[in-house]
Amino acid sequence: MIHISMETGLILAGILFSLGLLGVLVRRNVIFVLMSIEIMLNAAGLAFVVAGARWGQADGQVMFIFILTMAAAEVSVGLALILQIYHHFKTLDSDAASKMKG
Amino acid sequence: MLQLLWLIPALPFFSYAILAIFGKRISRNGVAALGVGSVGTSAILTILLGISFLTSPPANYAFSQTLWKWMDVAGFSPGITFYLDSLSLVFIFVITFVGFLIHLYSSEFMQGDEGYSRFFAYMNLFVGSMLTLVLADNLLLLYLGWEGVGLCSYLLIGFWYQEPENGYAARKAFIVTRVGDAAFAVGLFLLFQNLGTLDIQNMLQRADAQWIAGSTLPVAAALLLLGGAVGKSAQLPLQTWLPDAMAGPTPVSALIHAATMVTAGVYLIARTYVIFQLAPVAMLVVAIIGAATLLLAGFSAITQVDIKRVLAYSTISQIGYMMLALGVGAWAAGIFHFMIHAFFKALLFLGAGVVIITHHHEHNMFKMGGLRKQLPVTFWTFLIASGALAAIPIVTAGFYSKDAIIWYAWSAEGGSTLLWVAALVGAFLTAIYTFRMVFITFFGEEKMPKNGTVGFRLKLPLVVLAVLSVIGGFINLPHTFGKFTPLFNFLEHTLPAIKVVHESLSLEFWFELISAVTALLGLYLAYYFFFKRTQFAERFNNTAVGAAIHRFWFTGWGFDWIYDRLLVFPFVWLARINRRDFIDLFYDGVAWTTQLLHKGVGLTQTGRIRWYAMGIALGAVISIALGVFL
């Protein structure tokens, strides 16, 4: 079994989180924004797992399962919203939905 | 019977409330029945009450009735209490009785007016307030009535509010009297501060016991009360509002600006006479103001063209006589003249009202002429009232009341030759301007056709008041006519007896003869200059000096001009340069800063999710950095 140090794991999680954040900030397509959020969530989950492994406790993996559940719920709501946005604006550009009007 | 006293002011108030709330839904006859009926019932009650008061007088010749306690604050507890004595009885009789006749007259006079119910509502409110004023047992309740009549005066002068001038006249009346009212209010504070009560009888007793005659306090208190009286009674120097107040309907001028409200000042001084007796200086000021006012207004009346303005100046002048009487200490004579004046002046206004409505609301006397044949009843009653105003000897009531004042102006305690001369010249002027008005309006050639008919409800008040203008004087004859002075005797239960310095029947007779001759001479001059040889007056007016004098008197001795220059123009100028109100700058600044901040924060609300995400990310980074590095 290959031993991976905690630092490596946390750096990977940090890189993943930053990539996700960058995606949220620069992407205009809502679907890509949603996917970037998933990446950020998974980065957080990875950090939990790494920390759990470091101290030999199951809490980290329990938290990851919570995150998975939450992500599933979030994606279902998010996709429904995206469908509505597409119906309404005939585009997936998130900047198009910047007015608080019906 | 005396227990019914509260009903007298309550009835007009009740009728006012009904008319104010349901006036629009009541038919015209219903409005008239309610408006006239309530005051009429009050008048009947007053007469019954007066009879019972005279036949079985209450203890001390005074009756007081407390309805409820008004308030109770830190030892100050005025009640809603009515106080009836000989002075207030005379006043409520005049208010309700003359008020009833004028209401009856109004029910026909205002027939075609769309504000019929509004008119009667205001008139009833006025009668109620005036009765509160004269029946009040404490000065606070009196002040309530005082302000109430001021409000009604304002509302009724501006009754035809569509005309901007009427609104202007109403505001002028309100603001000018307010100057006096402010002095009156300060006087009330002073009295309460020093005597600890506003209850009139207690207050007068305490003043008598605590104050030294001629010291500063009574003089200050008396002068402040006089300030209120001067404003309300249109005396010098606050007389300018009354001629303009003629903008109101004529019955209003008759009731408020001749018979009742303007004499409230006379009532106030008579009511608080003890304070004035303690302040001889103030008494002298009262007499001088009265004498100066009666002369000034008399000269102005000679030059007026508008029939109602002649009467307005003559009212100012006659109230000047009442003030003169009070000032020289002839208290009862002032009240006597008040009563007789209410009869004949109300009659003159009502007669002028008939003339005005039958001639297309024309006020200019020079456009009328020869109305003697067109309006016989009005002519004869107007002539009787004019005789009373000019104090034609023996046959008119005005002779008895005014000559009493002229006699006391010399012979009473505070009298002097100068005051007597002023009163005599005033009487001469009165006869001239009165008969000038009669000759111009009713004699000569007819210039305008009569329009409309004069009904029963217009004629009856004229006739009743004409009878009173003749026989009213017989209730108090001069000493030379025998010792028949029931009114003075009656009033002396409340007011102090007149102290005569020069008691002599033969002197009194000669003085009466002089004033009688003066009045007749005035009458003859009016006949000569304004009927027989009108060209003299015209020629005089065409000379430069004559025109200047004429203009000076016509504008009421330039008082309006002075007040405009001294008070109105500077105020308007200040208002103009301060149009952008500099105090508001601060508040505007606060509003402006808030708006700026709002705009700045508003800029961040773009609606773009990616900006929000950026904000959150940056915020997180900054907070973590602060947490880690600090």
**Tens-place pLDDT, residues B73-123:** 877 888 888 998 888 999 999 999 999 999 999 988 888 888 888 899 999
Closest CA to B418 of B570, B279, B274, B288: B288
First to last CA, chain B: 95
Nearest residue in B to A101, CA atom: B607
Kindly report the backbone phi and psi dihedral angles of residue B283, in degrees, each rounded to the nearest multiple of 5, phi listed first.
-60, -45
Cβ-based contacts under 8 A for chains A and B = 24
How many Cβ atoms are within 10 Å of B591's Cβ, its own excluded?
A: 11
Is any Cβ of chain B less than 8 angstroms from the Cβ of A95?
A: yes
CB-based contact B249:B109 (threshold 8 Å): yes
pLDDT digits (tens, 9 = 90+) for B224-233: 999 999 999 8
Q: Indicate if the pLDDT at residue B480 is higher than 80.
A: no
Whole-angstrom distance, CA of residue B628 vs CA of residue B622: 10
Lowest mean pLDDT across B388-397, B503-512, B592-601: B503-512
Q: Tell if the CB–CB gap between A95 and B614 is shorter than 8 Å.
A: no
Whole-angstrom distance, CA of residue B589 vs CA of residue B585: 6
What percent of chain A lies above the pLDDT cut of 90?
51
Whole-angstrom distance, CA of residue B5 vs CA of residue B135: 9
Nearest residue in A to B615, CA atom: A25
Q: Indicate if the pLDDT at residue B626 is higher than 90.
A: yes
Q: Tell if the CB–CB gap between B610 and A100 is shorter than 8 Å.
A: no
Is any Cβ of chain A less than 8 angstroms from the Cβ of B616?
A: no
Whole-angstrom distance, CA of residue B71 vs CA of residue B83: 18
Please tell me the predicted confidence (pLDDT) of residue B315: 92
Closest CA to B159 of B72, B248, B31: B248
Query: Which residues in chain B (589-608) have CB-CB distances under 8 A to chain A?
Result: 606-608
- Which amino acid belongs to residue B415? G
Please tell me the predicted confidence (pLDDT) of residue A101: 57
Note the maximum CA span of chain B: 118
Average of per-residue pLDDT across B118-138: 91
Which residues lie closer than 8 Å to B569 by C-beta, 6 or more apart? none
pLDDT digits (tens, 9 = 90+) for B228-265: 999 998 888 888 888 888 888 999 989 888 888 899 99
pLDDT digits (tens, 9 = 90+) for B403-414: 888 888 888 887
CB-based contact B480:B512 (threshold 8 Å): yes
Q: Tell if the CB–CB gap between B613 and A28 is shorter than 8 Å.
A: no
Q: Tell if the CB–CB gap between B607 and A94 is shorter than 8 Å.
A: no
Q: Tell if the CB–CB gap between A21 and B610 is shorter than 8 Å.
A: no
CB-based contact B308:B253 (threshold 8 Å): yes
Lowest mean pLDDT across A26-35, A91-100, B163-172: A91-100
* Burial (CB count <10 Å: 0-12, 13-18, 19+), residue B279: buried
Q: Indicate if the pLDDT at residue B167 is higher than 80.
A: yes
For B545-573, letters b (16+ CB in 10 Å) and e give eeeeebeebeebbebbeebeeeeeeeeee
| Distance from the A78 Cα atom to the nearest Cα atom in chain B, whole angstroms | 14
- Which amino acid belongs to residue B393? P
Nearest residue in B to A37, CA atom: B613
Q: Tell if the CB–CB gap between A94 and B606 is shorter than 8 Å.
A: no
Q: What is the ipTM of this complex?
A: 0.82
Closest CA to B557 of B318, B284, B304, B363: B304
Q: How many Cα atoms occupy the beta-carbon half-sphere of B488 within 13 Å?
A: 22
| Distance from the A2 Cα atom to the nearest Cα atom in chain B, whole angstroms | 33
List, in sequence order, every residue forming a beta bridge with B500; answer none if it has no partner: B412
Q: Indicate if the pLDDT at residue B563 is higher than 90.
A: no
Nearest residue in B to A17, CA atom: B617
β-pairing verdict for B79-85 and B62-69: antiparallel
| Distance from the B596 Cα atom to the nearest Cα atom in chain A, whole angstroms | 22
Q: Please state the separation of Cα B37 from the chain's center in Å.
A: 24
Which of B608, B614, B624 has the highest number of chain A CBs within 10 A, making it the mutation to test binding with A? Answer: B608
Whole-angstrom distance, CA of residue B223 vs CA of residue B290: 14
How many Cβ atoms are within 10 Å of B198's Cβ, its own excluded?
A: 22
pLDDT digits (tens, 9 = 90+) for B325-347: 999 988 888 999 999 999 999 99
Is any Cβ of chain A less than 8 angstroms from the Cβ of B610?
A: yes
Is any Cβ of chain B less than 8 angstroms from the Cβ of A101?
A: no
Is any Cβ of chain B less than 8 angstroms from the Cβ of A40?
A: no
Is any Cβ of chain A less than 8 angstroms from the Cβ of B449?
A: no
Average of per-residue pLDDT across B183-193: 91
Q: Mean pLDDT of all residues in chain B?
A: 87
* Burial (CB count <10 Å: 0-12, 13-18, 19+), residue B382: buried
Q: Indicate if the pLDDT at residue B435 is higher than 50.
A: yes
Residue-by-residue DSSP string for B215-262 = SHHHHHHHHHHHHHHHHHTT-TTSTTHHHHGGGS-HHHHHIIIIISGG
Q: Which two tokens stand for residue B177?
A: 């009297």
Please tell me the predicted confidence (pLDDT) of residue A100: 61
Closest CA to B306 of B236, B357, B376, B246: B246
First to last CA, chain A: 58
Please tell me the predicted confidence (pLDDT) of residue B111: 85
Q: Which two tokens stand for residue B386?
A: 């004019």
Please tell me the predicted confidence (pLDDT) of residue B484: 79
Which residues does chain A have within 8 Å of residue B608's beta carbon, measured at their own beta carbons?
A: 94-95, 98
Please tell me the predicted confidence (pLDDT) of residue B55: 87
Q: Which of B607, B608, B617 sits opposite A21 (nearest CB)?
A: B617
How many Cβ atoms are within 10 Å of B584's Cβ, its own excluded?
A: 11
Q: Indicate if the pLDDT at residue A1 is higher than 60.
A: no
List, in sequence order, every residue forming a beta bridge with B69; answer none if it has no partner: B79
Q: Which two tokens stand for residue A73?
A: 């719920």
Please tell me the predicted confidence (pLDDT) of residue B103: 92
How many Cβ atoms are within 10 Å of A34's Cβ, its own excluded?
A: 19
pLDDT digits (tens, 9 = 90+) for B44-85: 999 999 999 888 888 888 888 888 888 888 778 888 889 988
Average of per-residue pLDDT across B495-515: 81
Q: How confident is the model at residue B535 (pLDDT cuts 50, 70, 90)?
A: confident
* Domain definitions of chain B by residue range: 288-332+349-532, 580-629
Nearest residue in A to B614, CA atom: A25
pLDDT digits (tens, 9 = 90+) for B572-582: 898 888 887 78
Q: Where are the alpha helices (DSSP H) in B475-568?
A: 486-491, 505-527, 534-542, 544-554, 559-563
Q: Indicate if the pLDDT at residue A102 is higher than 50.
A: no
Q: Tell if the CB–CB gap between A94 and B609 is shorter than 8 Å.
A: yes
Which residues does chain A have within 8 Å of residue B603's beta carbon, measured at their own beta carbons?
A: none
